[in-house]
Structure 1
Amino acid sequence: MDIYQYIGFALAVVVGITLGLIGSGGSILSVPILVYIIGVEPTLATAYSLFVVGTTALFGGIQKAKQQLVDFKKVLLFGIPTVITVFITRKIIVPAIPEIVWSHSSFTLHKSVLTMLVFAVVMIMASYRMIKPLKEAIVNDDDKLNLVAIGFQGVLIGLVAGFVGAGGGFLIIPALLFLAKTPMKMAVGTSLFIVSAQSLIGFLGDLGHQTIDWHLLLIFTSCSIIGVFIGNYLSKIISGDKLKTLFGWFVLLMGIYIISKELL
C-alpha cells in the first residue's frame, strides 16, 4: 500500500462528510480521488464509486430516518424508475461502448477519456446546482404530484448515475423540492435513500464485467462511512447551505481541471 492510497483513504472520509452534510456530492469527489490519486481505471472507478456512495448513503439515510427526515413514499416514486435505468445502463449500455469511441488522424477518443469528460460535464452541472440557491417549494397538502415528470426525472438520473458512477443527488434534491414539494431537510434524507438504492443496484450491473479489488474498495468505503457519521453530526451545528455553495465552486474548478487534463 503506497502513500497515494493512504491519501485516497483520508479523502474518502471527506466523501462521507459531504454526503452527510448536504445529501449529495459524494461521487463528485470519489471518482476523481479513485482515478487521479489511487490510480483506478476510469470505467472501473465509476463502478467503485457506485458501491462507495451507495453504501455510505445507506448509512446516512438510516441516520436521517431515525430523525424522521425520510419520505419513503417519494423514495419509491423516484427510486423505481431510477434503479431500473441505472441497472440497464451499467449492465448493457456501458459494456457496449467500444474502447476506441472515435478516431481521427490526429486524435483518438478512448472510452476512459470519454468517461472522464462526461463526468467533468456532470461536475459542472452539479456545481451550478450547488452554487445557485435553491428556494424551497411551498408545500400544500392539496398539491398533486406530477408522476410523469417524476418518472422522466428518475430515468434521467438513472442514465447519469449509470454512466459516470454519480449518485445523482444534485439532480434528486431539486426534483424532490420542486416536483415532489418536499421540505429541504426531508429532501436531503430522502435523497440519501434514493442514491443508495440506485447506486448499489447499478453496481450489481457491473459484476461479471469488472474485476473488483474488494480489499481496496472495502477500505475506501469504510472510510467514507466514518465520514458520513461525522457529516450527520456536523449538519446539526453547521449551515449546509453555505457549505454547499463553497463546495459548488470547488466542484466547478475540479470539472474544468479534469477537462483540461484529459484534452491537453
Structure 2
Amino acid sequence: MLLASFFGVVMGLVLGLTGAGGGILAVPALVLGLGWTMTQAAPVALFAVGSAAAIGAIDGLRHGLVRYRAALLIALLGAVFSPVGIFFAHQLPEKVLMILFSLLMVLVASRMLRRERHDEGPSDHGHANWGQKNCMLDQQTGRFSWTAKCTATLAALGAVTGVVSGLLGVGGGFLIVPAFKQLTDVQMRGIVATSLMVISLISAIGVIGAFQAGVRIDSLGYTFIAASIVGMIIGRKLCARIPPRALQTGFAAICIVVAAYMLFRTAM
C-alpha cells in the first residue's frame, strides 16, 4: 500500500510539472514495482493519469489556458480509436507489450533531451509567421483559425493518441505536447493545460472501455489513483519554480533507466 502511494505521488508530480510523461511512468511503476501484468496495469494507469490530469485541466480552464475546442476534437478521435488499442492489447503477448512500451520510453526520452528554442511572450501566442505551422492562433481573437489543414492535423493526432492510449495504458501527453509545439504556435503554458484536458478525456474513455471489457480495479489500484491526484496538486504548485530543462533532462534519464530494466526483465 505504501509503495503504491509512493509511485502514485511520483507519477502525479511528473504529470503536473510537465503536462506529459506521467502515464509513461505509471505503467512501469505498477509492472516493476507491484508485480502486475501489462493488461492489469494499463487501466489503473489510465484511471490514475486521467484523474490527475483532470485536476490540472480544471486549473488551466480557470486561467483561460485550455484550447478546449482543440482538446475536444483530439479527445473525440481518441475515443473512436482507443478501443482499437485495447483490442490489440488483449491479443498481443505480454513480452511484446513490454518491448513496445520500452521502445516508447526511449522515444520519449530522446524527445525530452532534444534542445528546443524557447519563445518568450506575455501572452499565449507564439512568434511563428503564417504558413509555418499547421494550426495558427488568430492574433485578434486568440483562438485557432480552423482551416481544413488544422482540423485534419488535430484529428490525426487524436487518432494516434487514442490507439497508443488503449494499447499501452498511457494518457498520450508525450505525443500531444511535442506535437503541439511542432504544429501550432501556442505557448508552453497553453500546451500543458490543453494536453492535460485531452489526457483526462481520453483516459476516461479508455477506463470505461476497460470496465466494459470486464477489467476491475482493487484497493491497491485505487490507492495508487488517489496518490497520483495528490502528486498532481503538488506538481502544479511547483511547476513555476523548477527550470524546464532540468526537469526534462531528469525525466529523460529516468525513462532510459526504466526502459533498459524493462527490456532486461523481458529478456530474462
Q: Structure 2 stretches of 5 or more lacking a match? A: 119-125, 130-137, 140-144
Corresponding residue of 1:163: 167
Q: Deviation at 1:229?
A: 0.5
CA drift at 1:180: 2.9
Q: When the two structures are aligned, how many residues end up with a matched partner? A: 246
Separation (CA, whole Å) in 2 of partners of 1:39 and 1:192: 28
Q: Does 1:133 align with 2:115?
A: yes
Q: Name which of 237, 241, 245 aligns with 1:233.
A: 237
Quick one: which of 106, 111, 116 aligns to 1:124?
106
Q: Does 1:75 align with 2:71?
A: yes
Give the distance between the partners of 1:132 and 1:215, measured in 2 at CA: 39
For 2:75 and 2:151, locate their aligned partners in 1 and report how far apart those are by CA, in whole Å. 12
CA deviation after TM superposition for structure 1 residue 25, in Å: 0.9
2:60 is the counterpart of 1:64:
yes
Q: Residue 114 in 1 paired to residue 109 in 2? A: no
- Per-residue CA deviation, residues 197-218 of structure 1 (Å, 9 max, x unaligned), is 1111011111143442332222
Cross-structure match for 2:89? 94
Q: After the TM superposition, which of the residue ranges 197-206 and 152-161 deviates more from structure 2?
A: 152-161
Task: Give the fraction of aligned pairs with identical amino acids, expressed as a percent.
Answer: 30
Report the Cα offset of residue 235 of structure 1: 0.8
Tell me the equivalent position of 1:47.
43
2:83 and 2:163 in contact (8 A); partners too: no
Shift of 1:139: 4.5
Partners of 2:89 and 2:168 within 8 A in 1: no
Cα deviation, 1:179-234, whole Å, max 9, x if unaligned, reads: 23211110001000101111110111111434423322221111010000000000
Indicate conservation of the 8 Å contact 1:57/1:192, yes or no.
Answer: yes
Q: 2:217 maps to which residue?
A: 213
Provide, for residues 162-195 of structure 1, a one-character-per-residue CA deviation record: whole Å limited to 9, x for no partner.
Answer: 1111111111012222223211110001000101
User: What is the letter of the counterpart of residue 86 of structure 1?
Assistant: S
Conserved in 1, the CA contact under 8 Å of 2:89 and 2:97? no
Partner of 1:105: none
Unaligned runs of 5+ in 1: 102-110
Superposed, 1:179-198 pairs within 5 Å as: 179-198=183-202
Rounded to whole Å, the distance in 2 between the matches of 1:179 and 1:81 is: 18
Aligned residue number for residue 172 of structure 1:
176
Does the 8 Å CA contact 1:69/1:186 hold for their aligned counterparts? yes
Give the aligned residue type for 1:37.
Answer: G
For the Cα contact (< 8 Å) 1:88–1:205, is it kept in 2? no
User: Are the equivalent residues in 2 in contact too, given 1:150–1:175 (CA < 8 A)?
Assistant: no
Q: Assess, with a 3 A threshold, how the Cα gap between structure 1 residues 162 and 230 changes in structure 2: closer, same or farther.
A: same
- What one-letter code is carried by the residue in structure 2 that aligns with 1:19? L
User: 2:11 matched to 1:15?
Assistant: yes
Provide Cα deviations, 1:48-67, integer angstroms capped at 9, x if missing partner.
11111011111111122222
Asked if the contact 2:4/2:223 (under 8 Å) is kept, the reply is no
Where 1:83 maps in the other structure, the secondary structure is helix
Helix, strand or coil for the counterpart of 2:78? helix
